[in-house]
Each structure stands twice: as C-alpha cells, then as structure tokens.
Amino acid sequence: MDSSIERIVQTAHPQTLVFGSGCASQLADMLSSRGCTGILLVTAKAIRPMVESIAASVKQAGISVLIDDSVNTEPTIDMFERLLEDVTDHIDAVIGIGGGSVLDAAKLAAAVPGSGQQIDELFGTGKIRSRKKMLICLPTTAGTGSEVSPNAILLDEKADLKKGVISPYLVPDAVYVDPELTRSIPPEITAATGMDALSHCVEAYANLHAHQFVDTYAIRGIELIGKNIETAFSNGEDMDARSALSLGSMYGGYCLGPVNTAAVHALSYPLGGKFHIAHGAANAILLPEVMQFNLTAAPKRYAEIAVALGCPAQSSDMETGLLGIERVREICRRCKIPDSLSQYGIAKSDVPAMAKSAMSVTRLLKNNVRELTQEDAEKIYQHLLKY
C-alpha cells in the first residue's frame, strides 16, 4: 500500500462550493450572475414539491426552468438517453437536485450533448472530451458524495452490471450542500446512503493507492458518519446529525477521484445490476465482510479506522481492527439494514455469475489492499447468504 506523500495525486474540485443550512436559496442569484437564461432541472418525483420551491425562485429571477423528474430509480442507459432529449440548445445549465442517481444523471446530461460522443464510448476513465453546459449539483441525501466527485454510474441492463464514467468534466461548476434538503429523507434511506458514504471513506483509507492528502478527508468522514448516522436514522429532525452526515458524505465524495473505492463497490455492482438492491444497502451488507477479508493485509489502517469509529485501541492492530468491523456491523443492526443476501431473493445458484460479474470491475479491484480472486468473491457472497 503506497501512502507516501511523494506519490502524485490529482484532484478536481468545484469552482464554487457552498455548505450550510439554507444555502440552496443562493442558487437563483448565482445563476443570474452567470448570465443563465434557461436551465434543465433534473430530479425525482418523490422530491418534486421541494424542488418546485427552488425552481420558483429561479423563475422569479427571469430564468426559464424545465423540470425532468424521471430519475426515480438508479439510472439506466435507456433512461439517460431519454433524459438527453430535454437538453436543448436554449439550456445554459443542467442542475441536479436529488440523491446520487439524480446527480449522476445530471452530470452526464451536462457533459454528453455537444461532445460528439455516445454514452457507450464513455465508460471507464478520462474518455469525455469536453463539457459545454454549466453543471450545478444540490444533494438531497448524505451518501454518494456525487456532488463533488468526478464519477457517474449507469446501469447497463443488457449486461446486468453498473458501469462507471470517470472524468474531471463530471465535477460540477457549483455545489450547494444544504443539510435542510436532507431533513425529510426516510430513515431507511438515511441509513443506506450514510453507509454508502462510510464505505467510500473506509475503502479510500484502506486502499492500495491511499494517499495522505486523501486520508485527511477519509478519516474525518469516518469520524463524522460513525458518530452521527444512528442519531440521524432515529431522529431525522436532528439537524446537527444531518449536517455532520452531509459533511461526511462530501468528504467521501472527495476521496472518489484521486483514490476511489475497491472490493466492496466491485462486489456490490452485480447486486444492484441484476437484483436491483439499492447501492447503499448493497455496500452496507458487504462492507464488514470485505473489511474482515482485508484485515490481515492492512491491520494498521483498519485499526485507525476502528479508532475513528469510536473504538478503544487494543494491544494489537488486529484486535483493534476487529473491533472496528464489529462496530460497522453494530451500526447496520441499529439502523435496521438487512445483513443477508437471501433476504433479497438471492440464491446459492446465483453466486458464480455474480462473482464472475464482479471480477470484471477491475478499475476498483486493483485498489483493494488484498488480492481478491473469483473464488474469494464467491466465498464472500456465500457467507452473506446466511441460510
């Protein structure tokens, strides 16, 4: 594991980043100052009432607003291509207001038009040639960190697999992280998205390509999420906890570009692609199991993760790391996250195909601190069936 500060790491940050309760109200003024005349606002039906109030303030500034609320599940290639029909010449900016699925779709909707490229050409790293539309993101969940990351994920239904597009052109021009927008998120989504954010931070910190610059974000994100996720789950009106989760999620998003995730996410992609398990829930089930698998390869890193989660240091890194793994399991139990793949209708006969599919996600598996084979993947899935 290379964690030396001498290793070069590239990051891309939004030009404008505003954090704090109520900051979404600044959006209209910013759009006016940039000379925008027409925007596409991408969202989901479930939060349309909240989005309408934001859209009204933009319209009052003399800017035309087209709302597309079609991103109601994790976005597929077909769904994205329909969304592109709304990105006309009079649209100056694409604004995503929603969870990670909405933000990912909005990011790609801003980048693909005018690039001369098709979405199938863009899966992988660094393949987008340009972005001609302004891009602004306002997250309504504390989970994916998509608002500050260079990543976007689409489901390829033909392959039953999620695929990633990674490019600095997917980093928004402006981001408004307003914890008030997360207030009405139901407990189960609060838990799943919070665990997604935790997995980003854990996988970036215990990573073959870890870097001291990114470690700062990762370890602070682990602390914030570990201390506050249960409170936000049990009392969604606790805005101190909501704010802490929003900040921790954003820190996790900053880890995704320069370091990225590893085996947890690679193994979760078939769960979402074939069985449509929500991304955060899939990561939550897998996280402690993959931590257990990896522990012997990076005991010091996992011990530091455990301490950040509030565990007392033990006489050895291995012992401390084991406490951290149990703490993650405890968080999942207290937040009522299922711990068995069989609860989602997955059978033992599904395991070989899932493992084979996961092994194709080499861009993430190459980051894992311990080499993971197809046989290892099958064992992890089988252990999580819990018959």
Where is average pLDDT lowest: 110-124, 130-144, 319-333, 360-374? Answer: 110-124
User: How many whole angstroms separate alpha carbon 16 and alpha carbon 146?
Assistant: 15
The pLDDT, as a whole number, for residue 257 is: 85
Name the β-bridge partners of 162.
155
The H or E element spanning position 196 is helix 187-205
Q: What are phi and psi of 118, to 5 degrees?
A: -100, 155
Same fold, 16-182 and 187-385: no
Quick one: which of 346, 206, 335 has its CA closest to 268?
346
Is the pLDDT at 4 greater than 70, yes or no?
no
User: How many whole angstroms separate alpha carbon 162 and alpha carbon 176?
Assistant: 27
Is the pLDDT at 31 greater than 90, yes or no?
yes
Domain boundaries, the chain: 16-182, 187-385
Quick one: which of 259, 263, 279 has its CA closest to 271?
279
Residue with token string 């012992």: 319
281-313 residue pLDDT tens: 999 999 999 999 999 999 999 999 999 999 999
Band of pLDDT at residue 2, cut at 50, 70 and 90: low
Looking at per-residue confidence, does 278 or 202 come out higher?
A: 202
> Please, what is the end-to-end C-alpha distance for the chain in angstroms?
36
Residue with token string 């109030």: 53
User: How many whole angstroms separate alpha carbon 121 and alpha carbon 43?
Assistant: 25
Structure tokens at 196: 């997604």
32-56 residue pLDDT tens: 999 999 999 999 999 999 999 999 9
Is the pLDDT at 8 greater than 80, yes or no?
no
DSSP 12-32: ---SEEEESTTGGGGHHHHHH
User: What's the whole-number mean pLDDT along residues 277-284?
Assistant: 93
Q: How far is CA 82 from CA 38, 75, 79, 105, 130, in A?
A: 19, 11, 5, 11, 21
User: What's the whole-number mean pLDDT along residues 339-356?
Assistant: 94
User: How many whole angstroms separate alpha carbon 203 and alpha carbon 286?
Assistant: 12
Which stretches within 48-141 are classed as H helix? 48-60, 77-83, 100-111
User: How many whole angstroms separate alpha carbon 299 and alpha carbon 319?
Assistant: 9
Using a pLDDT cut of 90, give the percent of the chain over it. Answer: 86
Is the pLDDT at 263 greater than 90, yes or no?
yes
The pLDDT, as a whole number, for residue 152 is: 94
CB 275 within 8 A of CB 344: yes
Name the β-bridge partners of 155.
76, 162
120-174 residue pLDDT tens: 899 999 999 999 999 999 999 998 999 999 999 998 888 878 889 999 999 999 9
- If one looks up domain 187-385 in CATH, what number appears? 1.20.1090.10
Structure tokens at 184: 């009405």
State the pTM of this model.
0.93
Band of pLDDT at residue 3, cut at 50, 70 and 90: very low
What letter does residue 367 receive in the DSSP assignment? T
Q: What are phi and psi of 300, to 5 degrees?
A: -65, -45
DSSP 268-322: HHHHHHHH---HHHHHHHHHHHHHHHHGGG-HHHHHHHHHHTTPPP-SSHHHHHH
CB atoms within 10 A of CB 179: 23
Was domain 16-182 assigned CATH 3.40.50.1970?
Answer: yes
